A and B are shown apart, each in its own frame.
Chain A
């Protein structure tokens, strides 16, 4: 079956994005499964583009539909890129390098990013999409991709350094 050959190989990517968006395993499973079933139903609209990008855009849409129903207490997740005020704070390279060595710290730092920054980090770093592909997938202008990604990284660095607890100080 064409669907199983084209789309299912990207189930790992779909689950990874769903996991980073939803924040926990059970929700990630639900979102990923729902997204794959949607993809199956809408496979007729698949026009031979990059199947991974196609599936991930469905994962995103599924997640943003799922979110208000399952996290009603979360107000709008709309975050203005500018409003976040990530000033050009240069972080201490030593602390950063120390933190980066800890996979757990990096994970936690990514998880604490606002969802739109988390999403763009996943798409760029883990899935390796180009700026242009991200712009198409997230449906934002190319300039926004660049600024959002830069801000996401700044915030991530800051988050990592903030968490840093030098040994012996615990």
Chain B
């Protein structure tokens, strides 16, 4: 090993970063070479000088105090922001839950438009019985009843007399349902009154379907030929269904 090779190894050597083999060769060279040996000693002295205590600048008590105050402020800020965040999250969750409850409540307690209509139909039916205002035109003749509606309605309701099937027509009147004037035909079955409400609709045809009774009145609803039909009576469900079946024929 010559000096040129040895010099770069002296620093790692004094730092204890030289591997065993390098160490051995270098130590051999240091024994032989005065200059390099001097260099090595210089480095060692320098290391010692730099490592001595007066070179150190430890933290002052004042810095420690300042820092501990700052850290306390920081950590309270951090925990506060955590709680603020938490608080916001709680609030948001609460609002979301309240919205959900309101929505469910609305869905569950607010009837569908069809159900509202059914109630309207039932109310009309009951009103017609109470006020004894069943008939504007009393006639068992469909050819009297149907023309009577002309000029009173903007549509011509299909009027059938089912007297042969023991659902005799007794008359008709105007009524008001679903935000419009509608035709109400009145039929009789023994002592039972059937109100059949008719008005135009844009919906497609649908076969008669029973509706859950409202205040004891059975209802059947269907759509045919651009008209919607609501039949309501205190007749039993079976007979009202028969009536609807006959009417749609």
- List A residues at the B interface (Cβ < 8 Å): 1, 3-4, 8, 11-12, 14-16, 19-20, 28-29, 32-33, 36-37, 40-41, 88, 90-91, 93, 96-97, 100, 103, 106-107, 110, 121, 124-126, 130-131, 146, 149-150, 153, 156-157
* Bound: A15/B67 CA distance, A: 12
User: With A32-B63, A124-B15, A150-B8 given, is the CB distance from A103 to B42 under 8 Å?
Assistant: no
Residue among A16, A91, A149 making CB contact with B11, cutoff 8 Å:
A149
Closest CB of chain B to A142's CB: distance in Å?
Answer: 10
Query: A15 touching B46 by the CB < 8 A rule?
Result: no
Query: A37 touching B51 by the CB < 8 A rule?
Result: no
**Can you list 14 contacts pairing A with B, beta carbon distance less than 8 Å?**
A4-B71, A15-B57, A15-B60, A33-B66, A33-B67, A37-B71, A93-B42, A100-B45, A103-B49, A125-B47, A130-B17, A131-B12, A131-B15, A153-B46
* Bound: A19/B54 CA distance, A: 13
B contact residues around A37 at 8 Å (CB): 67, 70-71, 74
Residue among A29, A91, A106 making CB contact with B63, cutoff 8 Å:
A29
- List B residues at the A interface (Cβ < 8 Å): 7-8, 11-12, 15, 17, 35, 38-39, 41-43, 45-52, 54-60, 62-64, 66-67, 70-71, 74-75
Closest CB of chain B to A31's CB: distance in Å?
Answer: 11
Main secondary structure of the interface of B (DSSP, over half): helix
A contact residues around B48 at 8 Å (CB): 100
A contact residues around B15 at 8 Å (CB): 124, 131, 149
